[in-house]
């Protein structure tokens, strides 16, 4: 769960911080949904199960197919040798697949099953109040959306600003450089 939480934060941070919605294919398919989510945070609650979870599920399938293939074709000794890693990869795949559903639940205020509310209350999955911190402009913090467990520690060590500084120093790219364009504003309004 912790690794899935970190990867969810890394992907979320990258899509919120870098690139432009005008980048061919990648911008429209990947960056735009993240940026639109800040304009309409509850849009995710109107997505069906496939739209919500499909991309993450597809992302995990190659690893899961490979593990399945190995279990049908490899020797017992080979399977035993990699069993621990297989369990880790399987668990990671489950939580990566569930990440967008958990994120959707953090934006759903009515009609959640009691068991989901309890998991949020116990902070086993991303709680609504915790995720609200990310949705305060300029959306520069609390990127992890599976459990949210890593948000505070990464904030304390200034992980995201440090990573942004490193990327800016090595590439010259400015973080969130198209935010004003995306919101239909000009930089002159600053």
137-166 confidence digits (pLDDT tens): 888 999 999 999 999 999 999 999 999 999
Would 27 be classed as within a structural domain? yes
- The pLDDT of residue 66: 97
Q: What is the mean pLDDT of the chain?
A: 91
Higher pLDDT: 163 or 177? It is 163
Whether residue 65 is predicted with pLDDT greater than 80 in this model: the reply is: yes
**DSSP per-residue codes, the chain:** -HHHHHHHHHHHHHHHHSS-TTSTTHIIIIIHHHHHHHH-TTGGGGS-HHHHHHHHHHHHHHHHHHHHHHHHHS-HHHHHHTHHHHHHHHHHHHHHHHHHHHHHHHT--SS--HHHHHHHHTTSS--HHHHHTTTSTT--S----SS-TTHHHHHHTTHHHHHHHHHHHHH-PPTTTTHHHHTT--GGG-
Q: Containing domain of residue 170, as a range? A: 2-64+95-189
Whether residue 185 is predicted with pLDDT greater than 50 in this model: the reply is: no
Whether residue 70 is predicted with pLDDT greater than 70 in this model: the reply is: yes
Q: CB neighbours of 18 closer than 8 A, spacing ≥ 6?
A: 167, 173, 175
- The pLDDT of residue 179: 62
Whether residue 184 is predicted with pLDDT greater than 70 in this model: the reply is: no
Whether residue 74 is predicted with pLDDT greater than 80 in this model: the reply is: yes
- The pLDDT of residue 190: 40
Would 71 be classed as within a structural domain? no
Would 78 be classed as within a structural domain? no
- The mean-pLDDT minimum among 29-38, 115-124, 167-176 falls in 29-38
Domain count across the chain: 1
Average pLDDT over residues 69-74: 96
Would 74 be classed as within a structural domain? no
Would 139 be classed as within a structural domain? yes
Would 73 be classed as within a structural domain? no
Would 177 be classed as within a structural domain? yes
100-150 confidence digits (pLDDT tens): 999 999 999 999 999 999 999 999 999 999 999 999 888 899 999 999 999
Would 131 be classed as within a structural domain? yes
């Amino acid at each position: 769960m912790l690794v899935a939480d970190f990867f969810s934060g890394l992907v979320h941070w990258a899509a919120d911080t870098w690139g432009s919605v005008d980048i061919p294919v990648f911008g429209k398919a990947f960056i735009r949904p993240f940026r639109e989510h800040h304009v309409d945070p509850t849009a995710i609650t109107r997505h069906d199960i496939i739209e919500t979870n499909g991309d993450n599920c597809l992302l995990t399938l190659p690893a899961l197919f490979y593990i399945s293939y190995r279990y049908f074709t490899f020797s017992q000794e080979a399977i035993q040798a990699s069993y621990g890693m297989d369990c880790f990869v399987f668990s990671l795949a489950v939580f990566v697949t569930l990440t967008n559903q958990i994120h959707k639940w953090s934006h759903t205020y009515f009609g959640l099953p009691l068991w989901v509310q309890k998991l949020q209350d116990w902070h086993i999955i991303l709680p609504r109040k915790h995720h609200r911190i990310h949705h305060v402009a300029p959306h520069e913090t609390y990127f992890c959306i599976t459990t949210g467990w890593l948000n505070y520690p990464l904030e304390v060590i200034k992980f995201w600003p440090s990573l942004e500084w490193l990327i800016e120093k090595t590439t010259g790219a400015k973080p969130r450089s198209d935010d004003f364009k995306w919101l239909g504003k000009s930089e002159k309004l600053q």
